[in-house]
């Protein structure tokens, strides 16, 4: 313990005891210090965890609010509020006269009150114009199949940025209303305005269709800017006794992320006997609702080119009336068709879903489909 030499045993014992006491005291201090260090480290770790959780929570809330804004569920109002807000901006920027603002506001309030679209974004007669064009031109096209007549609807001040699903439903419905086969289930209907479509989907949910989809949208569409997709369009059509199916092209089936199987499916939908039919075939088939992440469009026909490649003809609700009306000119040029034509290389989203109409449901079939929609499953290709 030390170098001290003691004269007798008792002095030695006392000296050793002193050394032992000093040692124990030092160890006690070390233990206390160690305990304090552990406690401090624990506190620092807890503070670090709290900050991390707080940051994660803040990021999650930010992401959630971003998604709410993206999908129109952020309580910022719906079609009416956006229409008024955007028209006020136009007035403030001098692009709309105040008298025009009040006239448009009155028209909108009337449209909302009766639930019928005001027709201001509608262009009719394009399918007929395409028929005339293909009869007389398009030498590079071997054959083309067109759907029944379809009116084009584009987004307005009230639904810009979120209304594509509703506008495509209007396009599809405009075709069904011109088709005698659907008189029974759509009797007396006009093209509904967007808030009316929202209330019709809510009514279908109340009937018991697609409870999972309803839950994801909080069982509410009216007064929101909520996007709708293939499932909501299927739900609404089925509730109206329109027979349709969803097909999910859930992954690429060609090189470079392309979807040739989608094009082949659409060709088979429009064409039955391909050989021996005339160059331009006006089919009895309605258009097809086409959905991908972030946008939806309407397929109104398909070309088979001389080189055997396929090209879809697509109405896009993002395309304004002034562009669509160029297709109505007697001397329409091939360049005007560029906005409609989509080749295999133009459709490269990861996944596409279509809603294709196939006839009318009986009341019993409607009940069976409502039951089947409790767990929604789409037909997958491949």
SS3 for the chain, per residue?
CCCCCCCCHHHHHHHHHHHHHHHHHHHHHHHHHHHHHHHHHHHHHHHHHHHHHHHHHHHHHHHHHHHHHHCCCCCCCCHHHHHHHHHHHHHHCCCCCHHHHHHHHHHHHHHHHHCECCCCCEECCHHHHHHHHHHHCCCCEEEEEECCCCCEECCCCCCCCCCHHHHHHHHHHHHHHCCHHHHHHHCCCCCECHHHHHHHHHHHHHHCCCHHHHHHCCCCCCCCCCCCCHHHHHHHHHHCCEEEEEEEECCCCCHHHCCHHHHHHHHHHHCCCCCCCCCEEECCCCCEEEEECCEEEEEEEEEEECCCCEEEEEECCCCCHHHHHHHHCCCCCHHHHHHCEEEHHHCCCCCEEEEEEEEECCHHHHHHHHHHCCCCCCEECC
Residue 75 pLDDT class (50, 70, 90 cuts) = confident
For residues 47 and 226, the model is more confident at 226
Catalytic site positions: 164, 295, 316
What is d(CA 297, CA 290) in angstroms, rounded to the nearest whole number? 5
What is d(CA 237, CA 115) in angstroms, rounded to the nearest whole number? 17
Give tens-digit pLDDT for 79-132: 999 999 999 999 999 999 999 999 999 999 999 999 999 999 999 999 999 999
Instruction: Put residue 100 in one of left, alpha, beta given phi > 0 → left and psi -120 to 50 → alpha.
Output: alpha
CA angle 265, 227, 101 (to 5 degrees): 120
pLDDT for position 274: 60
Is residue 162 pLDDT above 90, yes or no? yes
Average pLDDT over residues 207-235: 96
Average pLDDT over residues 232-260: 98
Give tens-digit pLDDT for 248-271: 999 999 999 999 999 999 999 999
Is residue 376 pLDDT above 90, yes or no? no
Is residue 141 pLDDT above 60, yes or no? yes
What is d(CA 72, CA 117) in angstroms, rounded to the nearest whole number? 21
Mean pLDDT, the chain, integer: 91
pLDDT for position 50: 87
Q: Which residues of 245-277 are buried (b: 16+ CB within 10 A; e: fewer)?
A: ebbbbeebbeeeebbebbbebbbebbbeeeeee
Q: Are 176 and 186 in contact (CB under 8 A)?
A: yes
> In DSSP terms, which residues pair with 282 in a beta bridge?
146
Q: What is the reported pTM?
A: 0.82
């Amino acid at each position: 313990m030390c170098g001290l030499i003691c004269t007798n045993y008792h002095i030695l014992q006392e000296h050793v005891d002193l050394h032992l006491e000093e040692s124990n005291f030092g160890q006690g201090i070390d233990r206390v210090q160690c305990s304090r260090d552990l406690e401090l480290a624990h506190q620092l770790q807890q503070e670090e965890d709290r900050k991390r959780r707080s940051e994660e929570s803040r990021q999650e809330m930010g992401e959630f609010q971003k998604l709410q804004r993206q999908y129109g569920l952020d309580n910022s109002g719906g079609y009416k509020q956006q229409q008024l807000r955007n028209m006020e901006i136009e007035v403030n920027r001098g692009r709309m006269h105040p008298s025009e603002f009040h006239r448009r506001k009155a028209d909108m309030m009337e449209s909302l009150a009766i639930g019928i679209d005001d027709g201001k974004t509608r262009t009719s007669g394009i399918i007929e114009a395409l028929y005339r064009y293909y009869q007389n031109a398009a030498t590079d096209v071997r054959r083309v199949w067109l759907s029944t007549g379809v009116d084009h609807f584009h987004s307005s001040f009230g639904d810009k940025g979120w209304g594509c699903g509703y506008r495509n439903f209007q396009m599809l419905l405009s075709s069904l209303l011109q088709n005698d086969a659907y008189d029974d289930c759509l009797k007396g209907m006009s093209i509904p305005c967007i808030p009316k479509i929202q209330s019709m989907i809510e009514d279908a949910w109340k009937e018991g269709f697609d409870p999972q989809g309803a839950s994801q949208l909080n069982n509410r569409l009216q007064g929101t800017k909520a996007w709708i997709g293939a499932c909501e369009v299927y739900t609404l059509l089925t509730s109206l006794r329109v027979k349709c199916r969803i097909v999910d092209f859930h992954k690429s089936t060609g090189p470079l992320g392309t979807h040739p199987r989608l094009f082949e499916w659409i060709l088979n939908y429009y064409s039955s006997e391909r050989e021996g039919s005339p160059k331009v075939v006006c089919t009895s088939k309605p258009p097809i609702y086409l959905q991908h992440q972030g946008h939806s469009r309407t397929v109104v026909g398909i070309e088979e080119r001389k080189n055997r490649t396929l090209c879809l003809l697509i109405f896009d609700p993002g395309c304004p009336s002034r562009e669509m009306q160029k297709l109505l000119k007697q001397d329409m040029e091939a360049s005007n068709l560029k906005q409609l034509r989509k080749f295999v290389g133009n459709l490269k989203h990861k996944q596409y879903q279509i809603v294709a109409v196939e006839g009318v449901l009986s009341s019993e079939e409607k009940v069976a489909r409502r039951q089947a929609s409790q767990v929604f499953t789409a037909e997958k290709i491949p």
